[in-house]
Chain A
Amino acid sequence: MNKMVEPAAMTAPTVKGRRIGEVILEVKNISLAFGGVKALTDISFNVREHEVRAIIGPNGAGKSSMLNCINGVYVPQQGTISFRGKTFSHMNSRQVAEMGVARTFQNLALFKGMSVLDNIMTGRNLRMKTNLFQQAIRWGAAEREESEHRLFVEKIIDFLEIQAYRKTPVGRLPYGLQKRVDLGRALAMEPKVLLLDEPMAGMNVEEKQDMCRFILDVNDEFGTTIVLIEHDMGVVMDISDRVVVLDYGKKIGDGAPDEVRANPDVISAYLGTSH
Chain B
Amino acid sequence: MLYRENGQFKTTYRADEQIFPIAQDRIFIAALLAFAFLVVPLTAPEYLFRAILIPFLILSLAALGLNILVGYCGQISLGTGAFMAVGAYAAYNFQVRIEGMPLVGSILLGGLCSTAVGILFGIPSLRIKGLYLAVATLAAQFFVDWSFLRIKWFTNNSSSGSVSVAGLNVFGLPIETPAHKYLFCLAFVALFALLAKNLVRSHIGREWMAIRDMDVAAAVIGIRPVYAKLTAFAVSSFIVGVAGALWGFVHLGSWEPAAFNIDRSFQLLFMVIIGGLGSIMGSFFGAAFIVVLPIVLDNLPYWFGIPIDTALASHMTNMIFGALIVFFLIVEPHGLAKLWSIAKEKLRLWPFPH
Given contacts A73-B216, A132-B231, contact A93 B206 (CB under 8 A): no
Of the listed residues B209, B213, B224, the one surrounded by the most CB atoms of chain A closer than 10 A to its CB is B213
- CB-CB < 8 A to A185: which residues of B? 221
Given contacts A93-B220, A94-B222, A136-B195, contact A109 B203 (CB under 8 A): no
Contact B204–A132 (Cβ < 8 Å): yes
Contact B206–A132 (Cβ < 8 Å): no
A92 vs chain B, min Cβ distance (A): 9
Contact B210–A111 (Cβ < 8 Å): yes
A38 at the interface (CB under 8 A from B): no
A103 at the interface (CB under 8 A from B): yes
6 contacts between A and B (CB under 8 A): A111-B210, A122-B210, A132-B231, A135-B199, A136-B195, A138-B198
- CB-CB < 8 A to A201: which residues of B? none
Chain A interfacial positions (CB closer than 8 Å to B): 71-73, 93-94, 96-98, 102-103, 105, 109-114, 118, 121-126, 128, 130, 132, 135-138, 142-143, 146-147, 150-151, 185-186, 189
Contact B198–A147 (Cβ < 8 Å): no
A195 vs chain B, min Cβ distance (A): 9
Contact B223–A122 (Cβ < 8 Å): yes
**Sample of 6 more A-B contacts, CB < 8 Å, known A97-B222, A126-B222:** A94-B224, A105-B217, A122-B221, A125-B222, A135-B203, A135-B204
B17 at the interface (CB under 8 A from A): yes
Question: Which residues of B216-234 are within 8 A (CB) of A?
Answer: 216-224, 231
Given contacts A109-B214, A132-B235, A147-B12, contact A97 B221 (CB under 8 A): yes
- Which of A136, A147, A150 is close to B199, meaning CB atoms less than 8 Å apart? A136
- A134 nearest in chain B by CB position: B202
- CB-CB < 8 A to B214: which residues of A? 109-112
Of the listed residues B202, B210, B235, the one surrounded by the most CB atoms of chain A closer than 10 A to its CB is B202
Given contacts A97-B220, A147-B14, contact A113 B213 (CB under 8 A): yes
CA distance A112 to B209 in the complex (A): 9
- CB-CB < 8 A to B222: which residues of A? 93-94, 97-98, 125-126, 189
- B202 nearest in chain A by CB position: A135
- Which of B195, B207, B210, B213 is close to A137, meaning CB atoms less than 8 Å apart? B195
CA distance A40 to B47 in the complex (A): 71
Contact A135–B198 (Cβ < 8 Å): yes
Q: Nearest 4 CB-CB pairs, A to B? A: A97-B222, A109-B217, A135-B202, A111-B213
Contact A72–B202 (Cβ < 8 Å): no
Contact B221–A150 (Cβ < 8 Å): no
Question: Which residues of B11-42 are within 8 A (CB) of A?
Answer: 12-14, 17
- Which of B199, B209, B219 is close to A114, meaning CB atoms less than 8 Å apart? B209
Contact B198–A136 (Cβ < 8 Å): yes
B278 at the interface (CB under 8 A from A): yes
Chain B interfacial positions (CB closer than 8 Å to A): 12-14, 17, 195-196, 198-199, 202-204, 206-207, 209-210, 212-214, 216-224, 231, 235, 278
- CB-CB < 8 A to A151: which residues of B? 13
Of the listed residues B17, B196, B214, B222, the one surrounded by the most CB atoms of chain A closer than 10 A to its CB is B222
Contact B206–A150 (Cβ < 8 Å): no
CA distance A130 to B213 in the complex (A): 23
CA distance A177 to B218 in the complex (A): 20
CA distance A138 to B199 in the complex (A): 8
- Which of B12, B206, B224 is close to A122, meaning CB atoms less than 8 Å apart? B206
- CB-CB < 8 A to B203: which residues of A? 121-122, 124-125, 128, 130, 135, 146
- CB-CB < 8 A to B195: which residues of A? 136-137
- A111 nearest in chain B by CB position: B213
Contact B12–A93 (Cβ < 8 Å): no
Of the listed residues A102, A103, A111, A130, the one surrounded by the most CB atoms of chain B closer than 10 A to its CB is A111
- B198 nearest in chain A by CB position: A138
B192 vs chain A, min Cβ distance (A): 10
Contact B206–A118 (Cβ < 8 Å): yes
CA distance A264 to B231 in the complex (A): 55
Contact B207–A122 (Cβ < 8 Å): yes
CA distance A72 to B202 in the complex (A): 27
B154 vs chain A, min Cβ distance (A): 28
A174 vs chain B, min Cβ distance (A): 19
- CB-CB < 8 A to B17: which residues of A? 146-147, 150
- CB-CB < 8 A to B231: which residues of A? 132
- B19 nearest in chain A by CB position: A138
B153 vs chain A, min Cβ distance (A): 31
A229 vs chain B, min Cβ distance (A): 15
A119 vs chain B, min Cβ distance (A): 9
CA distance A113 to B208 in the complex (A): 11
Contact A112–B213 (Cβ < 8 Å): yes
- CB-CB < 8 A to B202: which residues of A? 130, 135, 138, 142, 146
CA distance A84 to B219 in the complex (A): 21
Contact A109–B216 (Cβ < 8 Å): yes
- B213 nearest in chain A by CB position: A111
Contact A114–B206 (Cβ < 8 Å): yes
- CB-CB < 8 A to B278: which residues of A? 113
